[in-house]
Amino acid sequence: MVAKVSAMNVLRETIALFKYKIRLIGGGFVLMSLLSLPLYWQLGDINPEEMTSDQALLLVAALLPFFILGTSIQISIFHNFIRTLRGETPSLLPQGIVGKFFKTLWKEFLLGLALIIPGVVVELVLILGFVAVLPESEPSTFLLIMMTAVSFLGLVLGFAVLAVRWGFCIPAVAVGETSSFKLSWRMTKGHTLGLVAFTIPPLLIQTIMQLIADPAQADGPINFLAPSMLLGTAITGLAYWFTYTAFCVWYVRLLERYEMMIAEGKTPTPTDGNAGVE
């Protein structure tokens, strides 16, 4: 019997790896922040309701290098962290990064569709269900709040579960290993709660930041370079990179466990039942 991957062990290993790679993480954070400055400047000067075509073009011009270089940094970090966890010596840039870049983009696009489509279906089912049970008279404010809360929580939890069960196809393709939704689903079987728990801190921080930004946005364009916004960005970035590190640890340890289960004949091989289909 192959033991499950311990969430506490993953947390301890994540903290150790985060400390060990703090310079690399800091460099990646600074580089991403510098890349985002032109984007922040553009967003700070734009009122979405009054955006002109020239402003839209400038926004795309600021977003494109951030998107391209950001994805390249993501692939390089996956490569570096995963090889380090396996006791190998990582290079600064992985071999074949251009090919991996486009494969990663395609896999992220497919994952996005796989997450959005079920979410839309679930939301429609919830709306139709609420409409069917609503009283003919005007519903109370409490009932509307409860319905909204149930709908929101159901959507978020469903999204989180599918994201952590399917999401390991991204680091797999980024490092050039077998990548499929079915393989990721099999690897993560029995670890859903632990994986979802690792997504809660960044989601909470992003929600708090959104609540802070919404009142400011109501008064006009947000000043993304204000000290409060920069501090919030730093906190959000720290939570993001820690979670990113954790999922590298999860990927390596879950794949090791899955390979041990295959060796013991406890689970189908990646090629059985089309598990390795892209």
Model pLDDT for residues 23-76, shown as the tens digit of each residue: 888 888 888 777 776 666 655 555 555 666 766 676 677 677 777 888 888 888
Lowest mean pLDDT among 61-70, 94-103, 113-122, 131-140: 131-140
Tell me the mean pLDDT in the region 187-197. 91
Q: How far apart, in whole angstroms, are the C-alpha atoms of residue 69 and residue 71?
A: 5
Give me the pLDDT at residue 51, please: 61
Confidence of residue 211 (pLDDT cuts 50, 70, 90): low
* Most confident residue range from 29-43, 79-93, 141-155: 79-93
Given a cut of 70, whether residue 223 has pLDDT beyond it is no
CA 258 to chain centre: 22
**Residue 274: pLDDT band by 50, 70, 90 thresholds?**
very low
pLDDT > 90: what percent of the chain?
25
Four-residue CA torsion sign, 196, 151, 114, 94: negative
Inter-helix orientation angle 7-20/192-218, to 10°? 60
Residue 277 has pLDDT above 50, yes or no: no
Residue 275 has pLDDT above 50, yes or no: no
CB 76 within 8 A of CB 248: no
Checking if the pLDDT of 183 tops 90, the result is yes
Q: How far apart are CA 154 and CA 156, in angstroms?
A: 6
